[in-house]
Amino acid sequence: MALDPDFVADCFYGPGGQLIDEILRIDAENHIVVCRMPVGAELPITREQIVHPVRHPQHVSGALMVHATGIVGFVHAYYVLGLRHAAGWVGYGARIESARFHNIAHVPGDALVLTGRVTQLRKGATRILVKYAFEFHQTDKLVYQSKQTAMWIQTNEAPGETIAEGSESD
């Protein structure tokens, strides 16, 4: 499905930082989301590469793929968990347990298919801890795979109330 304007407006990043142009699948029951990310020379970081056809071919940078995991996590939070940035929910990457770059994501090249799957979820009233497994493919090649943890935090505070840092009470 095309990106919903409400999703685009609620995202932490503007359209240039959202990277995806389509949501291919949302499996709310199994906490799986799949998105499409077009690749091209205009991508952030990619456009700054000094390209050599053999030693440094143009590609989607690893840093951009790590950023894309945050966008896939936001898709999960928005469509599966029902969290809204506008309602005070914000997500942060907390840990990259493992990350592996299997192949270069070529530019120009076919769009990447980004899959995010929840492996663990702990919900509290104001915090949600999510462990994700990500796989990014370009055509039939696995280009990136990782296991990461994110924390979603409700930042709206009642008058005189604060969310204690490191609180485990949720």
In a domain, 169, yes or no: no
Per-residue pLDDT band for 168 (boundaries 50, 70, 90) equals: very low
Please classify residue 93 by burial: count the beta carbons closer than 10 Å to its beta carbon, then call 0-12 exposed, 13-18 middle and 19+ buried: middle
Closest CA to 80 of 133, 26, 131: 26
Q: Is the pLDDT of residue 160 over 50?
A: no
In a domain, 167, yes or no: no
In a domain, 150, yes or no: yes
21: DSSP letter: -
Residue 75's pLDDT is what?
98
Residue 158's pLDDT is what?
46
Number of domains making up the chain: 1
Indicate which CATH number applies to the domain containing 111. Answer: 3.10.129.10
In a domain, 168, yes or no: no
- Whole-number CA gyration radius for the chain: 17
Whether 136 contacts 103, CB under 8 Å: no
CA distance 35 to 16: 16
Q: What's the whole-model pTM score? A: 0.89
In a domain, 123, yes or no: yes
In a domain, 149, yes or no: yes
In a domain, 89, yes or no: yes
Residue 50 belongs to domain spanning: 5-154
Per-residue pLDDT band for 157 (boundaries 50, 70, 90) equals: low
pLDDT digits (tens, 9 = 90+) for 93-152: 999 999 999 999 999 999 999 999 999 999 999 999 999 999 999 999 999 999 999 999
Contacts of residue 22, defined as CB under 8 A and 6 or more positions apart, other chains included, come to: 1, 2, 3, 35, 36
In a domain, 166, yes or no: no
